[in-house]
Amino acid sequence: MNKRRGLAVALVSAIFLAIPIWLQSYSERSTHPALTYEMIALFNESFPKLALSKQEIEWVIQGSRDEDIWPRWINHFYNPTTNSGWGAQKFGWFPSSMAINLAKLLLSDYPPVPSKYWAVMPNIQAQYKNFGGDRTWQRALYEWSHDNKYEAYYTLGHILHLLEDATVPDHTRDDTHAHPLQSLTGDIGSPYELYAEQYIRDNEGTNLPITASALFAANFRPIILSRLVDYFEVLAGYSHSYFFSKDTIIGFPLPVIISSDDDYGYGKDKDGGIFLLARKRLQRGLGFSLNVVFSLNDPIYDAPILEAYFKRLSKEAILYGAGAIKLFRDEADEVKQSNVVLTKPQEKKGVVSLLNSLKNLKSVLPSATLSPDDKTDITEPLEYNAKTVSVVFAPVTPYTAEASSSSFLPELITISGSGSSSVAPQKIENSFEKIFDDEDQVVHIQPFSFSAVTSSDNFSYTAPSLVEIVIANVLTSTVGSSPETDVSSTINVSSTTTLTVVSNTLAISNITTSTIISLILPDETFTTTTTTPTTTPTTTTEVLVGDPAHIIINEIAWAGTSSDYPLDEWIELYNPTDSSIDLAGWKIVVGEVSVYWQKINNMIVEPKGYFLLEKRRDETLREITADVVYGDAILRNTGDKVALYNVQGGLVDEVDFLQGWPEQSSHGYRSLERIDSNNFAFDSANWRPSNDFRMLGKSYNGGLIYGSPRQANNGNVALNYRQEAPVRILKKEDNPYLLGYYEIPIGFKLIIGPGVVIKGYYPDSKMDIFGELEIQGNAAESVRMTSGKPQPKAGDWQGLWFHPGSVGNIVGLVMEYAGKDFRVNNFIYTGHVGQAIRAEQSTITISDSIFRENSSTTLYAYQSTSSVSHSSFATGKRAIEALGGNVHIESARFDSFIDPAGPIWIIGSWPNINEESIFINNVFNGPTIIAASLTSSARIFAAWPYHLNNIIVPTTTELIIDPGANIRLDPAGVLQIDGSLLAVGTDDLPIHFLPFDPVVSWGSLRFKGSGILRNIVAVHGNNNYPLPPGAAGMVMVENGKVAIEKSVLLDADNAGNTILSNFSDLQIVDSLIGQSEKRAFPTTGIGLNGGSLFLTNVTFKNLETGIRNQSLPLADLYQTSMDDNFINVDYHFDPPLFDVPSL
């Protein structure tokens, strides 16, 4: 027995060692990124001023993925009814005690904790140093308060992962789901999670059935709770109480199956909705009895149930996850503004994992100090190419209260201070180390601080075994300055302060009383450092100020980027020449202060290129790299002067607003832009506040930049997020506009003026109209909406979406390359559609416009009022598709559409199309109208064919068909005339009724009203299944009155009648009824059930029966000239004996 037990333990140990991923929840490579992306998307749409940038989104998603690093996921369970975590329940044949002991031995010697505590217990997560480390809510707040947005957002991603797991029933009902071990444990895992793996995030978004955009459009907003633990309790409570996991259908009081049918058991959601809850099946009991049981076992067979689960659970995850992001921002900003000093626990190798000693974790674990700019190889150490070490006197926030001890400093570095009141250095970074530049042997020092309280104190720094220490610029600032204070603006270098370098020791003596001293490590490459003059150069050369033949000052962000960062200023230069210009040795002077180049990335301005100077840091403008970072010279809010000097000291350009900046530029922290680079800078009329933000460029905290850094001042204005002003006007002077995801809210109006050009920036670029859109193009200056790609093609961008209640007035628009495929409401089973313009229950008027090279459908209208006049549509699948509503088309042109049913497809309503419209080069040159009922009298023109199916002419209306008209009816298609049909052709221009599909016959013309059919040709009808042969015909008249003259009715397919008259008055003159040749099935020319029949010169040909009276009373038959008019007809009359009086 002992040997067997030992063998079992060895086998189980081998299983655990071989399969290190046996408790994961949603797939960390598919479902987790998709849910996290939608959480952020809803947050961004709901709080656009706090929106995360693309880079920040990727940081969060990466954190969401990395939370599944083993063995972290043993802490991803939370049962809200027992307040417990993973208990190794429902693990196949494994006893829970064995699984727990093996997990302790092989995965983590630290016991699992519930996920709601795991998320907020840094002392526990700090034990996981080798497994991702501390990724708690407190860690995220700490990093945010220290301006480390990468670590903050990366850590937030870990938290969102845990919230997503709280929506997985297996995780809230303690159902261990070891799918990879199925063959050994008998546990097939979680059908729900296996089903959810189909939902992914790609470059175009996600394929989730519920998305942020759909929720936002349906007026759902993030749910804000007061505490993080509340999110766990609400989400876990929901998934635990309303949903089953595979192994917890029996033994749990909730959820309750309230009803069932033959296949499913049903539950009631928290909002009262009924949904599929479990599979119902019969299981053989004792003897021959059958018991009803419920199960949830197969991700494919039970997909309808799991789909119902995922739609509800993913919706809750997105709503609450977006709320958690808002809670984080609120708490983080509060902590930062209150200057609360947060403590970050020291991570240590507390968790012992046997698997860690067997695997190389470097390939799977992220570095705790991973740079957001270098994630391609997380095992490589950070490298710096700095050429200098700046010694800066600046206020520093200590890392922790305990960090005043010098024991935190590495042994290789010695910090010493002399003087009776010296204080030990304070460590302010987690990783405090010296990093060498191998080529130049230059030391780079991580930040620390040293306080001196008397003017006699001296400071020295010793770095052993160094060739040299390079020192650049000494600045001072008094203690107590706000961390947001720009140190360089309060330069007060004491003339008695000295710096000396002896061997490899830096000494600073005569330090100003009460200062903080910091060695600041530059976080990006240093190329050179120069000392700048403190006064304006006095030498000049013969250069005309503002001459466009030279570099010019092009943009000034004097107000900063936001209320949070008013000192994040930037200046842009522009080279209007055709030659590169080297700015080495050039100077910029703000007021009377020369700008100091703190960091230089580039000094060459390319032809027609821009040169960007950012204040304080290269991240002042995110997504755009600065050419130069400068550290002093504040632009005064009351007005200032900016001058540019060349290397000879000549004044090249000057902008003088000492009397005050333009008033409007202070609104929204808008930069001051030069309007015309060819006009002079001193002309104040040549400057304006930036009119809007651009796609490229974000503030330090990811906010919008109202300016055009490193971009043309005119053009590239971003149409993104929600419209802010109730009325906005776009003008051609700012062409081109770049369309992202733009929303016109209810009650708002966007006016697009003549000559405006709008380019789709993303593949999914679209304009969501809930209010009103007015496009004011004209013959001379159209409005153009097009692709932003250099080689455009159909489907490059999505288009315009008019939502219920919206209004569109479109004149003079040229729209091209739109129609990118999308899923309506993003439901996975709805399929993709491509619609350049989508109108839902809205009113849209289009005139004098051109639509070309759009993919799939150009205009889709659902229960909308749509009017199109004097416009052209070219290429694609369909030009206009309408479901219900009212459609008016006047003098439009439709060219080269490939749908077999033609460029116009209208279901549920009869369109008003005038005769001047043109159809050319289409697969079918005419409109398709299906299941439509006339609301007023209408007319069918001969100018183009009509494709019809199931059309109703009501009792109060009349349908007129012009001579020469060509009507194609669908298989079994019906034209139902309850009112009146007037189809009057001529000898030269007969009216044709033909099958749309040449090999499948159409149905019938059915009269319950009246009709005149003159000079018509109707062939290959009578496809009236399921009507029996005697009850059908190609022309059917019931209690009606119809006259047929000079017409041909041939080749009624299927057995039965060519014409069927039930209790009607039917008159036929000079017409042919029959078959082109004798058919194998029974054929009748005219079938009668009562009523009367008047015949004059009617020929019956190739029929079994000419006229059949099918019931009593016999119809009244009147005829003239009948004796010679039966050609190859077996029976002229049936029955043969009934009164046929002559007229």
Residue type, 729: I
Measure the CA–CA gap between 674 and 671, rounded to whole angstroms: 10
Measure the CA–CA gap between 838 and 373, rounded to whole angstroms: 40
Half-sphere exposure of 698 (CA within 13 A, CB side): 15
How distant, in Å, are the alpha carbons of 21, 238, 404, 519, 1117 from that of 423?
A: 50, 55, 9, 16, 124
Mean pLDDT computed over 76-91:
80
**Lowest-pLDDT range of 631-635, 929-933, 962-966:** 631-635
- Look at 678 and 533; give whichever has higher pLDDT: 678
pLDDT above 60: residue 526: no
Q: Give the per-residue pLDDT at 93.
A: 52
Q: Which of 71-80, 656-665, 682-691 has the highest mean pLDDT?
A: 71-80
Number of other residues whose CB lies within 10 A of the CB of residue 943: 18
- The side-by-side arrangement of strands in the sheet containing 587-590 is 593-594, 587-590, 641-645, 651-656
Three-state SS at 1054: coil
Measure the CA–CA gap between 490 and 472, rounded to whole angstroms: 17
- Look at 785 and 720; give whichever has higher pLDDT: 785
Among 242, 255, 232, CA closest to 113: 232
Mean predicted lDDT score pLDDT of the chain: 77
Of all residues in the chain, the percent with pLDDT exceeding 90 is 48
Q: Give the per-residue pLDDT at 127.
A: 77
Mean pLDDT computed over 430-440:
30
Model pTM above 0.75 = no
Q: Give the per-residue pLDDT at 900.
A: 95
Domain range 977-1143, CATH architecture = 3 Solenoid (2.160)
Measure the CA–CA gap between 71 and 689, rounded to whole angstroms: 54
pLDDT in tens, 901-959: 999 999 999 999 999 999 999 999 999 999 999 999 999 999 999 999 999 999 999 99
Pick the CATH number of 20-255+298-338 from 1.10.575.10, 2.60.40.10, 1.20.210.10, 3.40.630.30: 1.10.575.10
pLDDT above 80: residue 885: yes
- Look at 954 and 405; give whichever has higher pLDDT: 954
pLDDT in tens, 1081-1105: 999 999 999 899 999 999 999 999 9
Q: Give the per-residue pLDDT at 895.
A: 97
How distant, in Å, are the alpha carbons of 138, 140, 398, 623 from that of 152?
A: 10, 4, 18, 18
Measure the CA–CA gap between 800 and 797, rounded to whole angstroms: 10
Three-state SS at 48: helix
Q: Give the per-residue pLDDT at 760.
A: 93
pLDDT-derived band at 229 (thresholds 50, 70, 90) equals: confident
DSSP state of 690: -
User: With contact defined as beta carbons under 8 Å apart, do 752 and 810 qualify?
Assistant: no
Three-state SS at 2: helix
Element (H, E) at 956: none
- Look at 439 and 1020; give whichever has higher pLDDT: 1020
How distant, in Å, are the alpha carbons of 15, 552, 867 from that of 185?
A: 10, 74, 66
pLDDT in tens, 790-836: 999 999 999 999 999 999 999 999 999 999 998 887 655 567 889 99
- Look at 360 and 155; give whichever has higher pLDDT: 155
What string of H, E and C letters represents the secondary structure of 259-326? EECCCEEEEECCCCCEEEEEEEEEEECCCCCEEEEEECCCCCCCHHHHHHHHHHHHHHHHHHHHHHHH
Please list, in sequence order, all residues whose beta carbon lies within 8 angstroms of the beta carbon of residue 262, skipping any fewer than 6 positions away: 280
pLDDT-derived band at 352 (thresholds 50, 70, 90) equals: very low
pLDDT above 90: residue 398: no
pLDDT above 60: residue 252: yes
Domain range 552-689, CATH architecture = Sandwich (2.60)
Mean pLDDT computed over 716-744:
91
Q: String of b and e for 430-465 (b: at least 16 CB within 10 Å)?
A: bebbebeeeeeebbbbbbbbbbbbeeebbbbbbbee
pLDDT above 70: residue 779: yes
Q: Give the per-residue pLDDT at 350.
A: 52
Mean pLDDT computed over 437-442:
32
User: With contact defined as beta carbons under 8 Å apart, do 809 and 773 qualify?
Assistant: yes
How distant, in Å, are the alpha carbons of 404, 413, 458, 467 from that of 410?
A: 14, 6, 22, 20
- Look at 341 and 581; give whichever has higher pLDDT: 581
Mean pLDDT computed over 642-646:
92
Measure the CA–CA gap between 477 and 516, rounded to whole angstroms: 7
Dihedral angle of Cα 897, 900, 901, 902, to the nearest 10 degrees: 20
- Look at 360 and 553; give whichever has higher pLDDT: 553
Q: Give the per-residue pLDDT at 1044.
A: 97
Q: Give the per-residue pLDDT at 94.
A: 54
User: With contact defined as beta carbons under 8 Å apart, do 701 and 566 qualify?
Assistant: no
- Look at 487 and 907; give whichever has higher pLDDT: 907
- Look at 393 and 581; give whichever has higher pLDDT: 581
Q: Give the per-residue pLDDT at 1029.
A: 79
User: With contact defined as beta carbons under 8 Å apart, do 1042 and 1013 qualify?
Assistant: yes
Q: Give the per-residue pLDDT at 194.
A: 87
DSSP state of 1050: E
Residue type, 893: R
Q: Give the per-residue pLDDT at 1054.
A: 86
pLDDT in tens, 497-513: 333 433 333 344 433 33
Element (H, E) at 1006: strand 1004-1007
Among 203, 179, 204, CA closest to 92: 179
pLDDT in tens, 27-59: 555 799 999 999 999 999 999 999 999 999 999
Of all residues in the chain, the percent with pLDDT exceeding 70 is 72
User: With contact defined as beta carbons under 8 Å apart, do 554 and 584 qualify?
Assistant: no
- Look at 556 and 283; give whichever has higher pLDDT: 556
Number of other residues whose CB lies within 10 A of the CB of residue 422: 18
pLDDT-derived band at 185 (thresholds 50, 70, 90) equals: low
Measure the CA–CA gap between 998 and 581, rounded to whole angstroms: 72
Q: Give the per-residue pLDDT at 956.
A: 92
| DSSP letters for 800-861 | EEEPTT-EEEEESEEEES----EEGGG-GGG-EE-EEEEEES-EEEEES-EEES--SEEEEE
pLDDT above 70: residue 8: no
Mean pLDDT computed over 977-1003:
95
Measure the CA–CA gap between 33 and 338, rounded to whole angstroms: 33
pLDDT-derived band at 348 (thresholds 50, 70, 90) equals: low
User: With contact defined as beta carbons under 8 Å apart, do 692 and 720 qualify?
Assistant: no
Measure the CA–CA gap between 382 and 181, rounded to whole angstroms: 39
Q: Give the per-residue pLDDT at 517.
A: 33
How distant, in Å, are the alpha carbons of 1, 893, 911, 960, 977 from that of 936?
A: 92, 25, 11, 12, 13
pLDDT above 50: residue 334: yes
Tokens matching residue 50: 């706090």
Q: Give the per-residue pLDDT at 186.
A: 53
Q: Give the per-residue pLDDT at 1107.
A: 92
Q: Where are the domains of the chain?
A: 20-255+298-338, 389-520, 552-689, 740-926, 977-1143
**Lowest-pLDDT range of 283-287, 589-593, 596-600:** 283-287
**Lowest-pLDDT range of 613-617, 678-682, 990-994, 1004-1008:** 678-682
